[in-house]
Amino acid sequence: MAFFAACALLGVLVGIVSSLFAIGGGVILVPMLPLFLGFSAFQTAATSLMTIFLVTGVNVWGFARQRLVRWPAGLLLGIPSALTALVAGSLAVRAGERVVEIVILCVLIIVTVLTFWKRHVLRGVETPREIAPKERGWLALVG
């Protein structure tokens, strides 16, 4: 029962934090799974990806209802990404858990630095117009 409660709590935390700070939930979830639930690096990667799959599906559905999805670009980006993920998953298993742990650590450090850079160093740089929270409706809550 404690496991289910911890998973539910982490899920809510990831949803809130990722929505508030506009970052991917995996950035929050990946360090939390081994820390609080004792997951291995492979279990963490696989569980995080499954979570992202569910959240992404909900978000695509919501954005599609608002006619915001650019389907050709999404498919042109998504299909090669999915195929590459199959190869990368096989390579990760062959490389071993320690290598995966190091790669996860490096990715988290890079994402942290880039997030800081974007929010603090590039503060005055113009970016493409974002969807206003009013236009996103319930999507502001799911990330």
Which tens digit of pLDDT belongs to each residue from 92-132?
Answer: 889 988 998 898 889 889 988 888 887 777 666 555 555 55
Length of the chain: 143
Which tens digit of pLDDT belongs to each residue from 4-19?
Answer: 999 999 889 887 877 6
Rg of the chain, C-alpha, whole Å: 17
Which tens digit of pLDDT belongs to each residue from 17-31?
Answer: 776 775 677 778 888
Tell me how crowded residue 138 is: count the other CB atoms within 10 A of its CB.
Answer: 8
Regarding pTM above 0.75, the answer is no
Which tens digit of pLDDT belongs to each residue from 35-84?
Answer: 889 999 889 888 988 988 888 888 888 889 999 999 999 999 999 999 99
Instruction: Please report the beta strands in the chain, taking only residues with DSSP state E, as ranges in sequence order.
Output: none
Query: Which DSSP symbol is given to 125?
Result: S
Q: Which pLDDT score, from 0 to 100, does residue 14 have?
A: 82
Q: Which pLDDT score, from 0 to 100, does residue 22 have?
A: 59
Distance, in Å, from the CA atom of 59 to the CA atom of 55, rounded to the nearest integer, reads: 6
Residue 119, classified by CB atoms within 10 Å of its CB into exposed (0-12), middle (13-18) or buried (19+), is exposed
Query: Which DSSP symbol is given to 24?
Result: -
Q: Which pLDDT score, from 0 to 100, does residue 141 have?
A: 46
Tell me how crowded residue 91 is: count the other CB atoms within 10 A of its CB.
Answer: 11
Query: Which DSSP symbol is given to 131?
Result: P
